Amino acid sequence: MTASFEVVGTRLPKLDAPEKVSGLVQYGDDLQIAGLLVGAIKRSPHSHARILNIDTSAAEALPGVKAVLHAGNVQQRPYGFYGDNIPLKPDIVRFVGDEVAAVAAVDEETAARAIALIDVEYEVLPAVFDAYAALEEDAPVIHPERNLTSNVSMRWDFDHGDVAGAERQAAVVVEGLYQSPLAAPAPIETHVTIASYDAHDHVTIWAPIHMVFLYRKEISQCLGIPWEKITVIQPPVGGSFGAKIDIDPHDFITVMLAEATRRPVKMSFSREDEFISTRTRQPIHFRMRSGADSHGNLLFRDVDIVSDNGAYNGWGSHAMLVAMQTCSSHYRVPNVRIRCAVAYTNKPWGGSVRGFGNPQATFAVEQQMEQLADALGRDPIDLRKQNAYHEGDVTPQGLRITSCGLDECLDRVRKQSGWDERRGRMKHLRRGLGAAAFTHVGGGARVYGSDGCGAMIKLDDSGRVTLISGSSELGQGSETALAMIVAEELGIPVESVAVVNSNTDIKPWDVGVHASRTTFIAGNAARMAAAEAKAMLFATAAPLLGAEPADLASAQGEIYVRDEPNRRIGVARVARRRLLSEGGSAVLANAFYDPPSEPMDETHRGNYSAAYGFGAHVAEVEVDVETGMIRLLNLWTAHDVGRAINPMAVEGQIEGGAAMGIGLALSEELTVNHGRVLGANFHDYGMPTAVDVPRIHVELVETIDGEGPFGAKGVGEGGLIPVPAAVANAVADAIGVRPSQYPMRPWKVLEWLDGASELPTVMGPTRG
Amino acid sequence: MADVLTPTSVADAISMLGAHPGAHLVAGGTDVMLDLRTGRSHADSLIDLSRLSSQLSGIRAEGGRWRIGAMTTIRALEDDRELARQAPAIGEAATVLGSPQIRTMATIGGNLAHGTPSAEMPPPLLVHDASVELVGADGTRTIPLADLFVGPGRTSMRRPEILTAVVCDATDGGCGSVYLRQTVRWAMDLAGVGVAASVRVVDGRIETARIALGAVHPVPLLVPLASAVVVGHSYDPGLAREAGRLAAEACTPITDARGSSDYRRRVVAALVPRALRIAWLRATGQFTADRAPINGVLNEEGR
Amino acid sequence: MRLELTINGDPVRRDVAPDSVLLSVLRDDLQMVGTKWGCMTGDCGACTVLVDGSPVVSCLQLAAQVGGHSVTTIEGVAERGVLDQVQAAFVRNGAAQCGFCTPGMIMAVEALLDRHPGPVDEPLVRKELEGNLCRCTGYNKIIDAVLEVADLRAGDRACEHGHGGEPLTS
For residue A17, give the chain C residue with the closest CA: C91
What residue ranges define each of the domains in chain C, with the CATH number in brackets?
A: 2-76 (3.10.20.30), 85-160 (1.10.150.120)
With bands split at pLDDT 50, 70 and 90, how would you rate the model's confidence at A2?
very low
* B155 in Cβ contact with B218 (< 8 Å): no
> Would you call the peptide bond into A743 cis, given omega within 30 degrees of 0 as the criterion?
yes
> A touches which chains (3+ CB pairs under 8 A)?
B, C
Give the pLDDT of residue A767. Answer: 29
Task: Kindly indicate the confidence band of residue A581, based on its pLDDT and cuts at 50, 70 and 90.
Answer: confident
Question: Which CATH fold topology does B175-283 show?
Answer: Enolase-like; domain 1 (3.30.390)
Q: Give which of A273, A629, A753 to mutate to test B binding, by max B Cβ within 10 Å.
A: A629
Find the mean pLDDT for residues B255-263: 94
pLDDT classification of B248: cutoffs 50, 70, 90: very high
The residues pairing with A617 across neighbouring beta strands, listed in sequence order, are A436, A637
Domain definitions of chain A by residue range: 17-24+452-593, 31-125+188-239+244-277, 284-446+600-754
Q: Would you put residue A456 in left (φ > 0), alpha (ψ -120 to 50) or beta? A: beta
**Contact at 8 Å (CB) between A562 and A553?**
yes
Cβ contacts of C33 on chain A, cutoff 8 Å: 23, 26, 29-30, 32
Mean pLDDT along residues B208-225:
97
Triad A223, A227, A228: Cα angle to 5°: 135
pLDDT, one tens digit per residue, over A643-693 is: 999 999 999 999 999 999 999 999 999 989 999 999 899 999 999 999 999
State the Cα–Cα distance between residues B21 and B43, nearest whole angstrom.
Answer: 9
Taking the CB of residue A562, how many other CB atoms lie within 10 A of it?
A: 12
Burial category of A95 from C-beta neighbours within 10 Å (exposed 0-12, middle 13-18, buried 19 and up):
buried
pLDDT at residue A764 greater than cutoff 70: no
User: Helices marked H in chain B — which ranges?
Assistant: 10-19, 32-38, 53-56, 74-79, 81-86, 88-96, 100-105, 108-113, 122-127, 224-228, 237-250, 261-283
- Tell me: domain A17-24+452-593, CATH 3.90.1150.10, correct? no
pLDDT single digits (tens) A369-389: 999 999 999 999 999 999 999
In angstroms, the CA A366 to CA A384 distance is 9
Q: In terms of C-beta density within 10 A (0-12 exposed, 13-18 middle, 19 or more buried), how is residue A393 classed? A: middle
A689 vs B185, B193, B263: nearest CB: B185
Contact between residue B68 and residue B124 where contact means Cβ atoms under 8 Å apart? no
Q: Is the pLDDT of residue C170 over 60?
A: no
Please report, for chain B, the start and end positions of each structural domain, with discontinuous segments joined by +.
Answer: 1-50, 175-283
CA angle at A10 for the pair A8 and A13, rounded to the nearest 5°: 115
Pairwise CB contact (< 8 Å): B297 & A624 = yes
Asked if A17-24+452-593 and A284-446+600-754 have one fold, the answer is yes
> E strands within A313-380?
335-344
Report d(CA A715, CA A321) in Å as an integer. Answer: 19
* pLDDT at residue C121 is higher than 80: yes
- How large is the average pLDDT for residues A630-653? 97
Q: What pTM value is reported for the model?
A: 0.96
Of the candidates A635, A614, A632, the residue with the CA atom closest to the CA atom of residue A623: A632
What is each CA distance from C34 to A234, C47, C100, in whole angstroms? 19, 9, 9
Does CATH place domain A31-125+188-239+244-277 in 3.90.1170.50? yes
What does each C-alpha distance from A507 to A225, A451, A457, A468, C156 come to in angstroms?
A: 21, 16, 11, 6, 48
Question: ∠ CA(A497), CA(A502), CA(A505), 5° rounding?
Answer: 135
Contact B187 C19 (CB under 8 A): no
Q: What ipTM score was computed for the predicted complex, to two decimals?
A: 0.96
* Beta carbons of C65 and B98 less than 8 Å apart: no
Mean pLDDT of chain A: 95
- CB-CB under 8 Å, B4 with C62: yes
pLDDT of residue A449: 87
Which candidate from B6, B34, B101 shows the least CB-CB separation from C55? Answer: B101
CATH of domain B1-50: 3.30.43.10
Digit-coded pLDDT (tens) for A423-434: 999 999 999 999
Is 50 exceeded by the pLDDT of residue C167? no
How, if at all, do strands B149-151 and B154-155 pair? antiparallel
C103 membership: H or E segment, kind and range? helix C102-115
Residue C110: pLDDT band (50, 70, 90) is: very high
3-state helix, strand, coil in chain A (%, to 5): 30, 25, 45
Is the pLDDT at B300 greater than 60? The verdict is no
pLDDT of residue B170: 77
Strands, DSSP E only, in C58-158? 70-72, 82-83
Report pLDDT digits (tens) over B151-186. 999 999 999 999 999 999 977 789 999 999 999 999
Chain C nearest CA to A78, separation (Å): 32
Site from A108, A188, A480 to mutate, C interface, most C CB atoms within 10 angstroms: A188
A687: closest chain C residue by CA: C133
> Tell me, what's the pLDDT at B298?
86
Fold adopted by A284-446+600-754? Aldehyde Oxidoreductase; domain 4 (3.30.365)
Contacts of A25 in chain C (CB under 8 A): 99
User: Which residue from A minimizes the CA distance to C92?
Assistant: A13
- Secondary element (H or E) of residue A747: helix A746-754
pLDDT of residue C166 exceeding 50: no
Residue B159 CB neighbours (<10 A)? 11
How many residue pairs from chains B and C have C-beta atoms closer than 8 A?
Answer: 82
Range in A356-365, A515-524, B222-231 with the lowest mean pLDDT: A515-524
Cβ distance C78 to A22 less than 8 Å, yes or no, reads yes
**pLDDT > 70 in chain B, percent:** 98
Contact partners of B by the rule of 3+ C-beta pairs under 8 A?
Answer: A, C
pLDDT tier at A472, thresholds 50, 70, 90: confident
Tell me which residues of chain A, numbers 556 to 615, contact chain C at a CB-CB cutoff of 8 Å: none
Q: State the DSSP H helix or E strand holding residue C92, giving kind and residue range, or none if neither.
A: helix C85-93
Q: Does residue C24 surpass a pLDDT of 60? A: yes
Mean pLDDT over all residues of chain C?
93
**Predicted local distance difference test score (pLDDT) of residue A3:** 54
Alpha carbon distances (Å) from A125 to A95, A340, A345, A639? 11, 27, 13, 49
